[in-house]
Structures are given as C-alpha cells and as structure tokens.
Structure 1
Amino acid sequence: MKMSLTFLFRTVTKDFVKGNVCQHVQSLHMGCQLLAADKVLLMKLRKSTGYTFINCKKALEKFDNDITQAETWLHEQAQKEGWSKANKLEGRKAKEGLIGLFVGENAAVMVEVNCETDFVARNEKFQQLVKDVTFATLAHHRSKTQSQEGYVKSALAGDELSKLRMGEGASLADQVALTIGRLGENMSVKRAVTVGVPAEWHIGSYVHGTVSGQTEVAMGRYGALVIFQGGKEEEWDTLGRKLGQHIVGEAPLSLGNMDDLPCGESETRLLPQTFLADPSRTVAQFLRGQQARVLDFVRFQCGEKVGEEVE
C-alpha cells in the first residue's frame, strides 16, 4: 500500500512537471471562459435584437460565436418570416397604434402608424417603428425642400411612405415586416404630413395620450401641428401648445377668418370656435390679445377614417 501511494505521488508529480496537469487545468479554465463568453454574447445579442433566447443561441452556434454574422442572419430570418407573416395578417384590421410627432428647426413631421391592439402600441419595438417612420419622413422632406423657400407643406400616403429608406438601410416596408415578424400583429404606415416654415413663422404642437418615456418623438393617440406668426418670443412654446390642445380637443375642419362670427355649438372653423383654454373668448379673440395669428394647422386622430389623400 505504501509503495502504491508513493508510485501514485511520483506519477502525478511527473505529469505536473511535464505540464500535463497544467494543460488539463488550462483547458478546463479556457472552457469555463468560453462558456462565460457564450452567455455574455447571448445576452448582448438578445438586447440588441430583441429576438428570443432560442433564436439567438441558434445564431451564435451557427456562426461560432461571431456576433456580427449572427445578428445579420437573425435580421434576415426575421425579415423573411416577417414578410410571410405580414402576408398572412394583411386582411386583419389595424385601427390602433400611435401618432408620432417631431418638431425641429423650422420643420416638423407628424405620422400615423397602426397596429391591431393597444397592447402592441405600448411595446417599445412598435414605438421604435414609429420613430423610424418619423425620421425617415423628415429626411425625405429635407431632401426635397433644400432649395425651396417660404411655407412648404406636403402629405404622404402609406404606399409612398413604405418606399422611403432609413438612411442608407432598409425601406420602411422592410422595417414594418420586421416588426410584424417580431410582434405577430398586422401593422401599417398610414399617413404623414411635413411642414417647413420661414424664419419668422413658428410651429406649435401637441400630442394627447402621450406615451411615457419618449423624448425625441412625441407619441400618443391624437396629435396637432399649428403654424402661427406673432406673439411674444418667450411665450411661443406655451402659445403653440395651447393652440395645439384646442385643435386636438375641438377638432376644427377649417381655419376660417379672424372676423367670422360663431355659428353655435356645431362650429367647425377654428377661429370662431370658443377657445378651449378660455371659454369667455373665441380663438380669434385670444389671438388678438396675443398679437398673433394662425396660418395653418393639421390634426391627426389615430384610427380615424380619411380619404385617399391627407388634406
């Protein structure tokens, strides 16, 4: 027994000196590192793409933990599946969704993107789609109006919007299909309007039912853009917001004239309407007090029926 223990000790020592044990330990250590790296890559891939654990794991295994190739493959697969799912869901009604609104320097854009349920409208991936549509539309507006001066207003229907591209990347139609593939509901880009104003004009805006956590693009069930002139510089934001609130709340159909008389509760012209923020005055009377005038406005309500063209 004593000789066996001695022999075993010498054998282990010999192996250790030769580096065999070191190699075994090193191999085990590297294996642990690899497993840890897999987990880190998996979590990173899931966070960046939003795809399921199983699909991300499959992608990493397919490309030997190359996260770039794995992400590209996932997008391609999701897009294929998204187009297939989009075709299957095409007939299903999509009346929910969000209005997206962004006001920049002398330009603004308002879009409507639809889905089937309010639950999906609250999903961050759907909200990212709304943001993508908003900025793709704004980029299109700026590229088309670089040489134009004065007031520029344009409307785009869904088929026109679908052809727009996100920078140098995918079209909005591809992005919609990708989001359908991720969330499993029918979706559509319904309409958009863009405005560009000269330096002395101002753009007011308001979104009702705002989605919390959004900063760059305001999102909600209702939205309004109002183009106005005059007023005190320090009050432009407040003035634009109050006018936008009124337009959302009272839903005027036309502008009217500053001297128009109200025609009762069914008044659909903006200027003769009773001002929402001060019922003792009409909108026209409020504007006179502010030494301002409204030049144009646009109102979107999510899911409302509109003609083939956005007015």
Structure 2
Amino acid sequence: MTISASMVKELREKTGAGMMDCKTALAETNGDMEAAIDWLRAKGIAKADKKSGRTAAEGLVAVAAGENKAVVVEVNSETDFVARNDAFQALVREIAEVGLSTDGTVEAVGAATQPSSGKPVTDTIKDAVATIGENMSLRRSALLTVSNGVVATYIHNAVVDGLGKMGVLVAIESAGDKAALNAFGRQVAMHVAATNPLALTDSEIDAATVEREKAVFSEQARQSGKPENIIEKMVEGRMRKFYEEVVLLKQNFVINPDLTVEKALAEAEKDFGAPAKVTGFVRFALGEGVEREESDFAAEVAAAAGKK
C-alpha cells in the first residue's frame, strides 16, 4: 500500500511521533491508522491518546436540573460569533429545560415541544437557522436520574449561567443532606471535567479497549526480554495503573490528590449523614469528535478577490 504524506501528517498530529517513525508505523500496519498508533506506542514512541482528533465544532453546551434529575445538551453552530448571540443562548437554554421532560435521548428532545414556539425543538432550530442565518443542530443530549439523591451539574468555561464549552453531570444516590450532596457532586463534576475518565468502574470500560491496552503493554513488556511469567506480572501492574488513570472512582481526586474519588466519597458521607454512591456521570465537551476542514485564510481572501 502507498503511504501518502497526508497519512503521515495525520499520524504525526495524533501521536507527536517523528515523520520517519510515522511512515514506518504505517508501512508496518498496511496503512491502518489505529494499528499504527498502537505500533508506535508499543515501541515507546507515542503515548496513549484517549481522544485523538481535533475539536472543531462551535456552539454551546447547556445543563438544566430538576428534582432528582439533570440534563445536558449540545447545540452546534458554524461560528463562535453565533454562540455569543443572545437569541441563540436563549434557544439552547430552553432546549435543555425541555430535555428535563424527556428520557434525554436526542430523538426525544428533538421531538419535544419548545414552549416559546409551540413547535418541536427540531423545527424551532430550523426557524432559528432562517432567522440567525447560520446552520445549527441539536447534536446530542443525555439525562441522568436518581431515585433518592442528587444529580449535580457543572459548566466549564461558562459563557453565561448554565451555558458554556463543557457540561458535566454526576449522579449520587443517597438519603443524605441534599445541599452537602450537591456541593460534593459539583466537585466531582469539576474533577470529571479536568480528567475526562473513560468509565465509572473497571467493568464499564469497553472490552475491546481493555484488550487493546493489554496487547500494547504485552508488546512493550516483551521487549524487555524477560520470561513470560514476569511479563504477565508486568502487564497486570500496568493494567492496574491504566485503571487508576481512566476509571473515575479510582482516580486521584483533583480537589484532594491524597484521596481517590471513591475514598473522598466515603469521607464525605459524614457530611451527608448517610451512605452515598456515585451511579453515573456524563461529560460533553463542545465539538468533541467533530472535525471540520481547515481553511487557508489567505487563499480564501485571494479567491474572494477573484485571484488565483
């Protein structure tokens, strides 16, 4: 297979590895980008990247909370200028509030009636496109509920109250004091915003992801030349470290790094006045996983001027 310069460039951007290393990795893996990333990691040339790719979409993330539940939505626009528009902000805030009356799926939120227009959310967005003059879409939404407890919310890089570039929900089941639960839940939500965990517990991590990590660690360990029984223990140790890095309850709490999130929760139970359990979290970063083609501004200006 021919390895193109664009493929090498993409792999460099995703791994930070050198050009020749990237070219070799792609050649060794027959142009498979993910396999090439693993090849570079196994050689110790590149580090794991949980979220490869660049964020490029604009718009806003909004949160809204109700009794024992909260919702987070992401509404995309073409430019950040529109995200600062009062009408767009009001639209997104209302979509989040409407989401509280649904099951939180993007289909349900899109079909729900927007009070200000009396139309479904999707139709209201279409009308806004015509008014504001820029393409917009409800990209995703999620709802967390508890039978008894709180769903805490946090907006990072807030533009205005409840709206910003990142939204986090954290659900805590407990019969304890709601104000204390909400305060701690917000701290955990801030932690989630900072660390971007893959899952709440070990068992919730995708099996394919676990096997991929084991394969990379095994290859790294074998390069040490040690016997298989030692390699197995090395891999077990590295997997423990992996879980500590990506599992929310096992991560060192950013508010108090001497404790894991799980231990911090246990200590906070005296403030709650009852046992507590984190049952879920959601983290939406604006434009996550969406890429747009980079433009050459000089070329655009030249084209607009009628030049080649």
2:168 aligned with 1:224, yes or no?
yes
The structure whose RCO (Cα within 8 Å, separation 6+) is larger is 2
Number of the residue aligned with 2:82: 120
1:195 match: 144
**Structure 1 stretch displaced more, 224-233 or 269-278:** 224-233
Of all paired residues, the percent bearing the same amino acid is: 35
> CA contact under 8 A between 1:232 and 1:290: conserved in structure 2?
no
Q: Is the 8 A contact 1:94 1:117 kept in 2?
A: no
Decide whether the 8 Å contact of 2:150 with 2:178 is kept in 1: no
Matched AA of 2:125 = V
Corresponding residue number in structure 2 for 1:299: 283
Deviations 1:7-56, CA, capped at 9 Å, x for gaps? xxxxxxxxxxxxxxxxxxxxxxxxxxxxxxxxxxxxxxxxxxxxxxxxxx
Distance in 1 (CA, whole Å) between partners of 2:146 and 2:242 is: 33
C-alpha distance 98-277 of structure 1, shift in aligned 2 (>3 A): same
State the secondary structure of the residue aligned to 2:91: helix
Q: Which residue of 2 aligns with 1:277?
A: 255
Partners of 1:124 and 1:165 in 2: how far apart? Answer: 21
**C-alpha displacement at 1:277, in angstroms?**
0.7
Q: 1:136 is matched with which residue?
A: 98
Corresponding residue number in structure 2 for 1:207: 155
The one-letter amino acid paired with 1:268 is: V
The number of residues matched between the two structures is 193
Cα deviation, 1:183-204, whole Å, max 9, x if unaligned, reads 2211100111123321x22211
Amino acid in the other structure paired with 1:95: A
Tell me how far 1:136 sits from its aligned partner.
2.4
The 8 Å contact of residues 94 and 115 in structure 1, kept in 2 or not, is answered as no
Could you say what the CA RMSD is over the residues aligned between the two structures, in angstroms? 2.6
170, 173, 188: which one aligns with 1:243: 188
Does residue 110 of structure 1 match 2:72? Answer: yes
Indicate if the aligned counterparts of 1:97 and 1:114 stay in contact, CA closer than 8 A: yes
The match for 1:175 among 124, 146, 154 is 124
Give the 3-state SS of the residue equivalent to 1:303 in structure 2: coil
- Aligned residue for 2:114, secondary structure, equals coil
The answer as to whether partners of 2:150 and 2:182 remain within 8 angstroms in 1 is no
Q: How many angstroms does 1:232 deviate by?
A: 4.6
Give distance in 1, aligned partners of 2:110 and 2:202: 37
| Pair 264,227 (structure 1): closer, same or farther in 2 beyond 3 Å | same
Give me the whole-angstrom Cα distance separating, in 2, the residues matched to 1:98 and 1:155: 17
Q: For residues 147-192 of structure 1, give each alpha carbon's deviation from its aligned partner in whole angstroms, at most 9, with x where no partner exists.
A: xxxxxxx4423x5543322248112222112211222211100111
What is the Cα deviation at residue 94 of structure 1? 7.8
Q: Secondary structure at the match of 2:98?
A: helix
> Aligned to 2:241, what secondary structure does the other structure show?
coil
CA-to-aligned-CA distance 1:40-80 (integer Å, 9 cap, x gap): xxxxxxxxxxxxxxxxxxxxxxxxxxxxxxxxxxxxxxxxx
Counterpart of 2:199, as a letter, is S
Distance 2:240 2:251 in 1: 6
Instruction: Give the Cα–Cα distance (whole angstroms) in 2 for the partners of residues 262 and 245 of structure 1.
Output: 24
> 1:205 touches 1:224 (CA, 8 Å); kept in 2?
yes
Indicate if the aligned counterparts of 2:70 and 2:152 stay in contact, CA closer than 8 A: no
Paired residue secondary structure (2:289)? coil
Secondary structure, in 3 states, of the residue corresponding to 1:254? Answer: coil
Residue 20 of structure 1: aligned partner:
none
Q: Give the Cα–Cα distance (whole angstroms) in 1 for the partners of residues 121 and 56 of structure 2.
A: 17
Give the 3 Å change call, closer, same or farther, for CA 191–234 of structure 1 in structure 2: closer
Amino acid at match of 1:196: T
Q: Distance in 2 between matches of 1:277 and 1:270?
A: 13
Cα 1:264–1:281, aligned 2, differ >3 Å: closer, same or farther?
A: farther
Q: Indicate the structure (1 or 2) with the bigger Cα radius of gyration.
A: 1
Consecutive unaligned residues of structure 1, counting only runs of 5 or more, are 1-92, 142-153, 307-311
Query: Aligned AA for 2:66?
Result: G
1:162 and 1:190 map into 2 onto residues whose CA distance is 10
Secondary structure of the residue aligned to 1:221 is strand
Contact 2:244/2:250 (<8 A) preserved: no
Other structure's SS at 1:226 match: strand
How far the C-alpha of 1:301 sits from its partner, in A, is 0.8
